[in-house]
Amino acid sequence: MTSKPTSDYHTSPIDYTFDSQHIWHPYSSMQQSQAVTGVVAADGCELILDDGRRLVDGTSSWWACVHGYNHPSIVAAMQTQLHTLSHVMFGGITHPPAIELSKRLVAMTSESLTKVFLADSGSIAVEVALKMALQYWQGKQQPQKQRVLTVKNGYHGDTFAAMSVCDPEGGMHTMFGDAVTQQLFAPAPQSQFGQDFEPSDLDEISQLMAEQHPHIAAVIIEPILQGAGGMRFYHPEYLRGLRKLCDKYNVLLILDEIATGFGRTGKLFAYQYAGIEADILCLGKALTGGYISLAATLCSDDVALGVSQSPSGVFMHGPTFMGNPLACAAACASLDLLQQGHWPQQVSQIEAQLKQELADAIDYSQVADVRVLGAIGVIEMRHTVDTPRLQQLFAEQGVWIRPFGKLIYIMPPYVISASQLSQLTQAMKQVAKHISDTSGLGIDQDQRHEEPKFISHG
């Protein structure tokens, strides 16, 4: 084997040809590659491109990079950890960063959540949660409880069990047929956040629970924000009702806070809007401030006990990079920053500015809805947009925004300045206006009347 150069890639031009011929990107084709943007560095709220341009980042790198890039305290914590212990197996071994992080997670989440499983990504945290629920019921001598109930428009990741609880039509169910486990789906919550609650919203899910509970192990749901399934903000009363149903019918409640956790919706965790507790909680994305992959699944004493009473007596999961010390150190540093307490004000300022600056987009003919919650701003168009084309238009305006489906949305870092945020909102409105003024010419003609092919944040 010839040795490959490893030192000059930082300074050499980006090899776009190799990239398009050999490297998969998320939700991409190796036959018809889409243009990718070369990023060589990032700082604060800006991505720095190979041609020297700087783009204000409206995505926080898929909702994770809440403190901005190259933050000195996260970088320093990771550097120290790198020189001390970058990785060691977690089987039969423990280490200070994992203990410190787990202590903090136990302390900052609801009181009943006392046990922590450190997973390597959001999807794996969901797999772990589902597996815990199934093993729990084995331990409780009810092994027939194997189905999972969820709502439509959900998104929980791309691995197989996670896919099984994603939206049945918008998700990847049809693509993989019987290989994806058949789960139970209730309609998506309809009562919107900040509006009146319609109690009949819970009718169908109540009925499903009443009929199927002997077979239902758990309900899984994204609290308050259905993210990749449509950026829908729903009423906290729905969650309260769901908690009551789970208690009534002896079903575990799994809350997937992977997208919403750590302040994004204006509360540290979105479930706090409803004042409820989960039996199992999934965290990810902003856990490390978006610096490195790490997720966590927390559960109650009761769930942990049930799992240990299952025939295996142990929880059957243990990835190679479980509890990676470098990732735990990044997470501790990110939580330190959150604990400094600036985020609530930052998020509420972002929310106020988004509400003010996005409101008039509703006047454009192709805009169906404008909505804001916490540090999330959404312009929903009437038709599916052409993501690559819009991405290019946004880059020309000095911003990084990646729409999906009908949604032009942003989830900026909490540390974004007012002027950077205005740059993002102006660009969103200009693009929405352009699509409206050109009667859809901003949209791929073939896609104009189609729904998104499948739900992902891609």
- Check 120, 158, 256, 279 and give the catalytic one: 256
Q: Which is nearer to ligand PLP, 155 or 454 (CB)?
A: 155
Q: With CB under 6 A, what is the number of residues at the site for ligand PLP?
A: 15
Phi then psi for residue 149, to 5 deg, are -105, 140
- Rounded to a whole number of angstroms, the minimum distance from the CB of residue 156 to ligand PLP is 5
For residue 155, indicate whether it is catalytic: yes
- Check 27, 249, 336, 444 and give the catalytic one: 27
User: By CB under 6 A, is residue 222 in contact with ligand PLP?
Assistant: yes
User: By CB under 6 A, is residue 457 in contact with ligand PLP?
Assistant: yes
For residue 364, indicate whether it is catalytic: no
Site for ligand PLP in 271-310 (CB under 6 A): 284
- Position of minimal CB gap to ligand PLP: 122
User: By CB under 6 A, is residue 228 in contact with ligand PLP?
Assistant: yes
Distances (CA, A) of 317 to 44, 118, 325: 37, 10, 18
Alpha-carbon distance of 89 to 319, in angstroms, equals 9
- How many H helices and E strands in the chain? 14, 16
Q: Which is nearer to ligand PLP, 221 or 443 (CB)?
A: 221
Terminal C-alpha separation, the chain: 36
Tokens of 295: 């997720």
Site for ligand PLP in 145-174 (CB under 6 A): 155-157
- Rounded to a whole number of angstroms, the minimum distance from the CB of residue 157 to ligand PLP is 3
Q: Which amino acid is at 439?
A: S
Which of 227, 263, 325, 374 lies at the binding interface for ligand PLP (CB under 6 A)? Answer: 227
- Beta bridge partner(s), residue 43: 46
- Rounded to a whole number of angstroms, the minimum distance from the CB of residue 228 to ligand PLP is 5
- Rounded to a whole number of angstroms, the minimum distance from the CB of residue 335 to ligand PLP is 18
- Check 136, 155, 291, 414 and give the catalytic one: 155
Phi then psi for residue 30, to 5 deg, are -85, -10
Alpha-carbon distance of 344 to 266, in angstroms, equals 6
User: By CB under 6 A, is residue 384 in contact with ligand PLP?
Assistant: no
Which of 259, 286, 411, 415 lies at the binding interface for ligand PLP (CB under 6 A)? Answer: 259
- Rounded to a whole number of angstroms, the minimum distance from the CB of residue 163 to ligand PLP is 10
The answer to whether the beta carbons of residues 105 and 298 sit under 8 Å apart is: yes
Site for ligand PLP in 52-111 (CB under 6 A): none
Which of 98, 129, 258, 278 lies at the binding interface for ligand PLP (CB under 6 A)? Answer: 258
- CA nearest to 109, candidates 223, 233, 225, 271: 271
The answer to whether the beta carbons of residues 443 and 386 sit under 8 Å apart is: yes
User: By CB under 6 A, is residue 233 in contact with ligand PLP?
Assistant: no
DSSP 8-state class, residue 167: -
- CA nearest to 223, candidates 179, 285, 278: 278
Lookup result for tokens 């989830």: 411
Tokens of 373: 């919650």
- CA nearest to 166, candidates 143, 148, 146: 148
The 112-151 site mask, x for binding ligand PLP (CB under 6 A), equals ---------xxx--x-------------------------
Tokens of 273: 């809007």
- Rounded to a whole number of angstroms, the minimum distance from the CB of residue 25 to ligand PLP is 14
- The SS3 call for residue 314 is coil
3-state helix, strand, coil in the chain (%, to 5): 40, 15, 45
For residue 285, indicate whether it is catalytic: yes
Q: Which is nearer to ligand PLP, 294 or 304 (CB)?
A: 294
Q: What does the binding site for ligand PLP look like in residue numbers (CB under 6 A)?
A: 121-123, 126, 155-157, 222, 227-228, 256, 258-259, 284, 457
Write out the catalytic residue numbers: 27, 155, 256, 285
